């Protein structure tokens, strides 16, 4: 049975593109592009290409589908199957309560 997983406030990379919005923990991404300090970047910024390549493996469709990236801080939540790799995508919000409410709304509450 899938179980809710909520983690405390931490830094995330929000990736937006043609396949929607995806969140990845900042600690999982190598930031070889030292000129990026986390501000919002889109296709109009000259640094965007290198950052897009850094996060492309985390986005469905790859780097070519990414339109913008930025570092945000927030609580994360998803459903996961203990002992397995099955899980939903992360959602990120300002508070743990927002995450809890969203998970309950999206996936229901297991008794």
pLDDT tier at 41, thresholds 50, 70, 90 = confident
On the question of pLDDT at 12 being above 90, the answer is: yes
Global pTM? 0.83
Q: How far apart, in Å, are the Cα atoms of 97 and each of 7, 13, 44, 78, 90?
A: 12, 21, 36, 13, 15
Per-residue confidence (pLDDT) for residue 91, from 0 to 100? 96
Contact 26, 32 (CB under 8 A): no
What is the average per-residue pLDDT within 9-19? Answer: 94
On the question of pLDDT at 111 being above 50, the answer is: no
CA 81 to the chain's CA centroid: 19
What is the average per-residue pLDDT within 16-24? Answer: 96
74: exposed, middle or buried (C-beta count within 10 Å: 0-12, 13-18, 19+)? buried
Higher-pLDDT residue of 64 and 35 is: 64
Q: What is the DSSP letter of 88?
A: P
């Amino acid at each position: 049975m899938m179980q809710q997983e909520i983690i405390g406030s931490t830094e995330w990379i929000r990736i937006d593109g043609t396949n929607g919005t995806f969140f990845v923990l900042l600690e999982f991404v190598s930031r070889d592009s030292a000129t990026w300090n986390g501000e919002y970047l889109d296709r109009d910024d000259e640094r965007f290409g290198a950052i897009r390549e850094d996060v492309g493996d985390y986005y469905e469709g790859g780097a070519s589908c990414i339109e913008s990236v930025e570092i945000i801080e927030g609580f994360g939540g998803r459903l996961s199957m203990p002992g397995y790799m099955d899980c939903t995508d992360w959602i990120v919000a300002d508070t743990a309560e927002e995450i809890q409410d969203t998970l309950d709304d999206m996936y229901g509450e297991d008794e």
